[in-house]
Structure 1
Amino acid sequence: MTMEVYDQAYALARSLRNSESFKRLLQAEAVLIEEPTKWAQLQDVRHKQLEITAQQMAGKSIPQEKIDALDNMMNALLIDEQIRNYLLAEERFAQLLADVQKIIGEVVKDLKLLTENPEKDRA
């Protein structure tokens, strides 16, 4: 029975790899990689996004100027058609992954430890 789950997981991975949204993402990435300056600019913005997210998750306050600067950088990148196409393809594939994760996540609804609020039960 367990092997069947793994077999289906591998089949899901193959389906994702063969999906139209993944193929479009690979194509958009290949085009963008051919433009090292654009690729580096996108990587720089992504690095800055991750830094801000990490700081927010750590409970640190982010200066509005830093957020505005990042927004301006991203808006400047979105003017470029190749970068915009890549980001749209990435967003579509991320949505597909999120949808699949949500479907798989339905399994944990049966686990009381993960789904019930012990504080609520004590009241």
Structure 2
Amino acid sequence: MSNIYDIANELGRSIKESDEFKLLKQLHEEIEKDPAANQMLENFRRMQMELQQKQMQGMQITEEEAQKAQQLFELVQQQPIISKMMEAEQRLSVIITDINRIITEPLEELYGNPEQQ
């Protein structure tokens, strides 16, 4: 049997070679070349991170923060290149979630799935 780390590295290379990753990389590079789109995306990511950190600390997000985040999301979605990149991120995220489910399946078989208990 192959070394498990070799298999993991091969999986990483396969992800990098996938059409989904290549598209995401291309769109990311296009956004980096567009200062306005890049700044808009950075602002959106920063706000996302701040709200996630706040939630992780057990703090509530205010209605004002939620509205501001929603407005910024809608603004970002109006930029075709950013919207395409977010769609590409979502497609790659689905693949990675599926891979994670497959990888953790042996543990679920051994210990059971906590979500089903």
TM over 0.5: yes
Give the RMSD, CA atoms, in angstroms. 1.8
- 1:80-99 to structure 2, matched below 5 A, reads 80-99=79-98
1:65 and 1:19 map into 2 onto residues whose CA distance is 40
Q: What secondary structure does 1:51 align onto?
A: helix
1:108 and 1:15 map into 2 onto residues whose CA distance is 24
1:106 and 1:23 map into 2 onto residues whose CA distance is 28
Q: Which has the larger radius of gyration?
A: 1
1:115 and 1:10 map into 2 onto residues whose CA distance is 27
The letter for the 2-side match of 1:23 is K
2:35 and 2:95 map into 1 onto residues whose CA distance is 28
CA shift, 1:115, in A, is: 5.4
Structure 1 equivalent of residue 105 of structure 2: 106
Task: Provide TM-score, normalisation by structure 2.
Answer: 0.89
Structure 2 equivalent of residue 12 of structure 1: 11
- Per-residue Cα deviation, 1:57-115 (whole angstroms, up to 9, x for no partner): 21111111111111101101111111111111111111111111111111211443x85
Task: Provide TM-score, normalisation by structure 1.
Answer: 0.85
Structure 1 equivalent of residue 31 of structure 2: 32
Structure 2 equivalent of residue 42 of structure 1: 41
Unpaired runs of at least 5, structure 1: none
Correspondence 1:62 to 2:61: yes
The letter for the 2-side match of 1:58 is Q
Q: How many residue pairs get matched?
A: 115
2:57 and 2:105 map into 1 onto residues whose CA distance is 29
Unpaired runs of at least 5, structure 2: none
2:43 and 2:19 map into 1 onto residues whose CA distance is 28
Divergent runs of 4+, >3 A: none
